[in-house]
Structure 1
Amino acid sequence: MVDLVEFYRENGYVLVRGLLGREEALGYREECHAVLGRLRKTDPTWGSARELAGGPTELRHCHDAQFYSAAFAKLMVDPRFTDVAAAVLGTENVQLHHTKIFVKPEEKGSPFPMHQDAPHFPHSRDAVGAAIFHFDDAPEEKGCVRVMPGSHKNGVLPHIEEGGWHLPLAEWPLEAATPIEARAGDVLFFSYLTVHGSGVNSSAESRTTWLVQFRDPEAAPIDDVHQSRGQGMMLRGIDPTMRVN
């Protein structure tokens, strides 16, 4: 765990291989697609993503998946996950911010331009992180996550609001970032200050992930933005602030 934390602090991310078993991950993949099949279909693709892709693309998603399937409520308090989340935050206490299912459909799955998460929900302390659970394999051709190692050390960068709160496309090309190819069961942890994005899924299979955004409960939201139904739930430990979220 020490090496993992040191890598995270230096680079702003760490990929934990095999946090879930492969068959377990594929089971969650089925659960993701079942949840999406029960919801009204919406496409959250950013306008800037369509510009980046150079044509029409598609993305499927679901906020707060734990309210639609108990499987996700169980997974987000699993010690295999919360112990790593606590370690990278440097605290015994881990609090939920929000969750999202993201599915990039085959052949036309939408990309995400390079961005930080911090401008979407700034906090008083930067002890805020994310974990992307990979429920199927995510090679580069499936539009895997790409990161800029060490970019979390630069603080919050100015973003372009139009088209999805992204960094300037010409200054932050997706191709310049490091691709984080993953296998089913791998989990990518990264700081909300780490610059990241993802490419188009041009493969013949959809890419299925689940995002859990988490924080130290002593990192208070600065603005009343990005509310979620589950925000403030303790995933590990206690909330010493006793703040009403």
Structure 2
Amino acid sequence: MTWETADLTALAGHYGEHGYVLVKGLLSREEAAAYRQCAHDALATLDDDENATWDSAAGIAAGTPTRLQHLHDVQFHAAAFSRLLTDERFTRVAAAVLGGPNVQLHHTKLFVKPPENGSPFPPHQDHPFFPHTHHRVGAAIFHLDDAPEEKGCVRIVPGSHRQGPLEHVEEGGHHLPDVPFDATVPLPAEAGDVLFFSYLTVHASGVNLSGEARTTWLVQFRDPADPPAIRAHDHSLGQGMMLAGVDPTGRRTG
């Protein structure tokens, strides 16, 4: 579904039935390229070169151990991402899939899969990292460059959100050993596309075997009226920021 022709009711319906919706062209290719450059500039300022690969996903590509760069809260490194968080093109879809006008930030994370050996992610839900009471928590992956299957695009198990929370293996990073990678469906995307999915939707991604980095920005958001089931993943600097509407609870973090 393209942004220009998208019907918010249809987007929300697809999300509700399948656990995800890929919105084409929410950003222009030119905008995506500018955010990509900004993202890589922010990563270049870091002092360390941490490999964020999960132990459960560690592998070899092109004879080299796979690698993954990431950066929490990139909006505190570059103002462009602060503005994007409240861009109405994004917040209108986020509100539609949550089923209400209020959208609250949980956290953000920038991911860069380096060329030729960018790390995969095994099948998992996001729920175990920050469970909420009513499961009105979603994610948006902004594609800042093209993500065909050979670049390790996101993969989804459609409809898996209807199973509710699943039992994960925690060792080496939460993952679902009983869900084979081949059970996931690839969702190739182009620069400017944004993938919305429930934190209960089983998803994964492959190894980047291409000659170009794959750059994405993950925004986790929630209905502010959905309280956390446990206090977890509460270290984000921006957690509790209202992206659309109001917080009817007065709760600012957690």
Alignment pair present for 1:49 and 2:70: no
Per-residue CA deviations over 1:106-154 (Å, capped at 9, x if unaligned) read 0000000000000110011110000000000000000000000000000
Taking the aligned partners of 1:184 and 1:210, their CA distance within structure 2 comes to 12
Taking the aligned partners of 1:52 and 1:76, their CA distance within structure 2 comes to 35
**1:14 equivalent among 6, 18, 21:** 21
**2:188 equivalent among 181, 195, 203:** 181
Taking the aligned partners of 2:89 and 2:252, their CA distance within structure 1 comes to 27
- 2:4 aligns with none
62-71 vs 217-226, greater mean Cα deviation: 217-226
- 2:76 aligns with 67
- 1:123 aligns with 132
Taking the aligned partners of 1:26 and 1:67, their CA distance within structure 2 comes to 20
Alignment pair present for 1:107 and 2:116: yes
Taking the aligned partners of 1:120 and 1:30, their CA distance within structure 2 comes to 29
Distance 1:93 1:163, change over 3 A: same
- 1:30 aligns with 37
Gaps in structure 2 of 5+ consecutive residues: 1-7
Give the TM-score of the pair, scaled to structure 2.
Answer: 0.93
- How far apart are residue 244 of structure 1 and its match? 3.3
4+ residue segments displaced more than 2 Å: 51-55
8 Å contact 2:64–2:117 — kept in the other structure? Answer: no
8 Å contact 2:59–2:119 — kept in the other structure? Answer: no
Taking the aligned partners of 1:114 and 1:52, their CA distance within structure 2 comes to 18
Q: Paired residues, what number? A: 243
Taking the aligned partners of 1:52 and 1:223, their CA distance within structure 2 comes to 36
AA aligned to 1:225 is A
Taking the aligned partners of 1:232 and 1:36, their CA distance within structure 2 comes to 24
**1:2 equivalent among 2, 9, 14:** 9
Q: Percent identity?
A: 63
Per-residue CA deviations over 1:71-130 (Å, capped at 9, x if unaligned) read 000000000000000000001000000000000000000000000000110011110000
Taking the aligned partners of 2:127 and 2:201, their CA distance within structure 1 comes to 9
Residues 96-175 of structure 1 aligned to structure 2 (within 5 Å): 96-168=105-177, 171-175=178-182
Distance 1:2 1:244, change over 3 A: closer
AA aligned to 1:29 is R
AA aligned to 1:130 is A
Give the TM-score of the pair, scaled to structure 1.
Answer: 0.97
Alignment pair present for 1:214 and 2:221: yes
8 Å contact 1:52–1:113 — kept in the other structure? Answer: no
AA aligned to 1:18 is G
- How far apart are residue 221 of structure 1 and its match? 1.3
Distance 1:195 1:52, change over 3 A: farther
